[in-house]
A = this chain, B = another copy of it.
Amino acid sequence: MYSYESLKEFTEKIFVKMGCSAAEAKSGAEVLLSADLRGVDSHGVARLSGYVRLWESKRINATPNVHIVHQTPSTAVVDGDAGLGLVVAPQAMKIAIEKAKNVGTGWVSVKNSNHYGIAGYHAMMALEHDMIGISMTNASPLVAPTFSLDRMLGTNPIAVAIPAHKEPPFVADFATTTAANGKLEILQRKGTEAPMGWIQDKNGAQTPNPHELKEGGALLPLGGDRDHGSHKGYCLGAIVDIFSAVLSGANYGPWVPPFVSFLPVSDNPVGQGIGHFFGAMRIDAFRPANEFKHHIDNWISTFRNAKAIDGHHVQIPGDYERIESINRLKNGIYLLPPVEKDLIELGQKFDVKLN
């Protein structure tokens, strides 16, 4: 078990060794570690050496000049200058929040970025300002639209954070596929089968074998198949792709560059890097914030107290991650042996100790 603080410090030091400024290394480390804290193990320190390899292959710029290329009072397009998405995204979200302060809402589409960690972190930045936060990103193509054999979309997550008064905030953060890729990776490691509806094989037939993904198969959009609404999951993934990348000028659909450095990027890109989309809506641009937050408390307690199936209860989006955060802050973060080994080796290479 490692403490949150020690893993964050380790990550920050690695980013400094890459050449990041002190402030950006700190901010990027906080974003990355928010995944380990909230129980999204696939998006935290397990990916740190992947970011480093992208930097080594010159696909990530450690000293980006993140800047606005076009704007109106409520919108902006931000060029991430090939920076770490972990660093670019909070800067873009801050621009959305500033715009919301001025004109009620702010909407920022980002190009020329990289993987930005968990979507929820950025959406949650709005909460302390009594704003609703929205965050989405496209990602490298792993998902087959309904009836497609080709992988055309990423797992393209959507996060929405909504402030409450006495209740904890409502924080939805989900991939627009039946199951996120991180869940597949867990099954692949364990050697267990996936439920039908998560994956198709290279011929487009549903399969429980998580390894089919490496054999020409694909993840399936939320819904799984046409009868169960996969065309809706496909719509959601497509909307995320277009808001994040076609509005900004990033790569979209099958052109989105891979996260792993050993796969080549497209030699005829349709844009720059990957894309994100952020929104901030000031609550009092609609109604008094206190009034709204009291109603959200009522919404949350009403849903939480709904009559439930025996042995279960109705959860509020964000419950699991919040409880996990409390546990992990207190008891530490468990790293799988291969992840631990990977981090130790990374530390040796950069002369940073993992405590």
Chain A contact residues, CB within 8 Å of chain B: 70, 72-75, 77, 103-105, 107, 109, 132, 145-150, 152, 160, 162, 170, 172, 174-179, 195, 197-198, 203-204, 222-224, 227-229, 231-236, 238-239, 241-243, 246-249, 252-254, 270-271, 281-283, 285-287, 291-292, 295-296, 298-299, 302-303, 306-309, 312-315, 317
Contacts and interface: CB of A to CB of B under 8 A. Distances in A.
> What is the total number of copies of this protein in its complex?
2
A91 to B, nearest CB: 17
30 contacts: A70-B287, A74-B285, A75-B104, A75-B286, A103-B103, A105-B107, A107-B281, A145-B303, A146-B314, A147-B308, A147-B312, A147-B315, A148-B306, A149-B307, A149-B309, A162-B242, A172-B238, A174-B229, A174-B232, A195-B228, A204-B309, A222-B229, A224-B228, A234-B317, A238-B303, A246-B292, A246-B299, A248-B287, A253-B299, A270-B295
Given A73-B74, A286-B70, A178 B228 contact: yes
A104 B107 contact: yes
What is the predominant secondary structure among interface residues of chain A facing chain B? Answer: mixed
Contacts of A232: 174-176, 222
A223 B73 CA distance: 38
A253 B300 CA distance: 10
A314 B218 CA distance: 15
A177 to B, nearest CB: 8
Nearest to A238: B317
A174 B223 CA distance: 12
Contact of A148 (B132, B241, B307): B307
Contact of A75 (B146, B233, B285, B291): B285
A346 B40 CA distance: 57
A233 B228 contact: no
A204 B22 CA distance: 53
Contacts of A107: 104-105, 281
A308 B148 contact: yes
B197 A228 contact: yes
B303 A149 contact: no
B239 A314 contact: no
Given A170-B238, A292-B246, A303 B74 contact: no
B74 A105 contact: yes
